[in-house]
Amino acid sequence: MTSSATALKDSLSFTDLLPSGQGVARDGARVVFCFGVLPGEKARVRITTAKKTYAVAELVEIEEYSPERVDPFCPFFGACGGCQAQHLSYPAQLRWKRRMVENALQRIGGIRDVAVRETIGMAQPRAYRNKVSLVVEHESEGERIGFYRFRSHEVVAIDGCPVAKARLSEYMGILASAPPESAVGEALHDARHVVARSDEEGGAVLSVTTAHRSERLAAAAPALLAALPGAKGIVNSYEPRSENAVLGRKNVLLCGEEQIDEEIAGLRFRVSPASFFQVNGEILERIFGVARQELLPVHRAVDLYCGIGTFTLFFAREGAEVIGVEEHVHAAEEARANAQLNGVERRTRFRAVRVEEWSRSREGVAALAEADLVFLDPPRKGSDEATLRAICKARSPRIGYLSCDPATLARDLRLLVANGYRITNVTPFDMFPQTGHVETLVTLAAL
């Protein structure tokens, strides 16, 4: 049963911070969640929603401040749902993310005897995102461009983002200030979302999502391209699977180029706005460095959930024969093209099929049995039990698991450890500074 209350609570001591950015305190036997408060702080809060075991509160006043509190550098922090931790010093963010991984391994995975390394972060944890996904909301006076509030479909208007690459932040300002009658306004008339990706040189490609193929966008695309400095191409993505889907099922290039080139640790990747590719090139290079130490040498590898072939190419360049498995046909096509771009097409094969289906197929069973490394980079929901059991049955000597969610990682590690593997390394990476997200590379060896 839920109730609302307006009772003030004085001097609650906050001891933890959730990935959502909510501080955690205890009021007797009840847990209290409140945005804006950090561990080590005492605060007065107002209970807004109360249940038997927990309550949600809003901040009234901080009475004792944490020494790790800093001033947020973005004027939209607290309204925009993109960042959760700009008020926490960066060294403290790195320690917080390490604790997230430790807690998940212990509570969910039952893994208590493995040391988690310190989180590997960035030298300058701003202006790192090479991709942004903007929401377009249509109002009588024109289009409203921005990001969603946390756990909401309310749009917060944004005219720049300090965690995005400078070029992408510049585009936000141009799109946000465009009059409805301008060429940019015309291009946005049918838009639901705008997805932009930038390279290190300041070039960028954009994808504009519409309900149906937009002739109005097609007519305005050349002018939109000209209005965006460094822009190389405009794509119309259309027929989304749902009302809130960011990208459509179909894409058509309207003008310029559909892809940009990115180079990470000597590997070249040709990517589009829709490509599954890491948003932080500096941290991806650091992941490559740890993978080189922990997982090489490799002779035969299987790369599951391979996307555009990021790690398939990495292992192939190191001399391995690699099979990459990716259910999205377009991503698998991009992976093949990237293998050719890097001259490793003879050492790579790609299969456009669901991972769980492939792992049970004749080819999959044989490939897993022959591999001396199985590498997984699954989506946030983690891998599926059938695939993990197929890996265990094949008894591959080594496993590399790259995860963007500590909870599903811990769940999957619990199964692998229970079926004959030991964890040899756990390294968190700050792929998304200023947020509650953490990337983790785990390596395992067969007993």
Q: State yes or no: is 404 an active-site residue.
A: yes
Q: What is the pLDDT of residue 194?
A: 97
Is residue 404 within 8 A of residue 437, CB to CB? The reply is yes
Q: What is the pLDDT of residue 6?
A: 63
Mean pLDDT of 165-191: 94
Pairing mode of beta strands 260-264, 267-271: antiparallel
Residue 2 above 60 pLDDT? no
Mean pLDDT of 130-153: 88
Structural domains of the chain, with CATH: 8-64 (2.40.50.140), 107-121+274-446 (3.40.50.150), 131-263 (2.40.50.1070)
Which residue, 271, 281, 284, is CA-closest to 197? Answer: 271
d(Cα 216, Cα 189) in Å, to the nearest integer? 8
Residue 169 above 60 pLDDT? yes
Q: What is the pLDDT of residue 139?
A: 83
Span 381-431, pLDDT tens digits: 999 999 999 999 999 999 999 999 999 999 999 999 999 999 999 999 999
Residue 126 above 70 pLDDT? yes
Tokens of 286: 């650091």
134-143, 162-171, 259-268, 306-315: which has the minimum mean pLDDT?
134-143
Is residue 233 within 8 A of residue 256, CB to CB? The reply is yes
Span 254-282, pLDDT tens digits: 999 999 999 999 999 999 999 999 999 99
Q: What is the pLDDT of residue 195?
A: 97
Mean pLDDT of 62-68: 97
Residue 152 above 90 pLDDT? no
Span 335-348, pLDDT tens digits: 999 999 999 999 99
Q: What is the pLDDT of residue 8?
A: 76
Span 230-249, pLDDT tens digits: 999 999 999 999 988 999 99
Residue 99 above 80 pLDDT? yes
> Tokens 């790690």 label which residue?
311
Quickly state the pLDDT bin for 319 (edges 50, 70, 90): very high
Mean pLDDT of 117-123: 97
Tokens of 366: 């044989």
Is residue 287 within 8 A of residue 428, CB to CB? The reply is no
- How many residues make up the chain in this entry? 447
pTM of the model: 0.94
Span 182-192, pLDDT tens digits: 999 999 999 99
d(Cα 55, Cα 394) in Å, to the nearest integer? 47
Considering Cα of 303, then 403, then 314, then 397, what sign does the dihedral take?
Answer: negative
Span 23-58, pLDDT tens digits: 999 999 999 999 999 999 999 999 999 999 999 999
DSSP annotation string for 75-104: TTBTTBSS-S-TTB-HHHHHHHHHHHHHHH
Tokens of 258: 């559909």
Residue-averaged pLDDT of the chain: 95
Q: What is the pLDDT of residue 153?
A: 85
Half-sphere exposure of 428 (CA within 13 A, CB side): 28
Question: Which of 80, 83, 306, 404 is the catalytic position?
Answer: 404
Quickly state the pLDDT bin for 5 (edges 50, 70, 90): low
d(Cα 288, Cα 279) in Å, to the nearest integer? 15
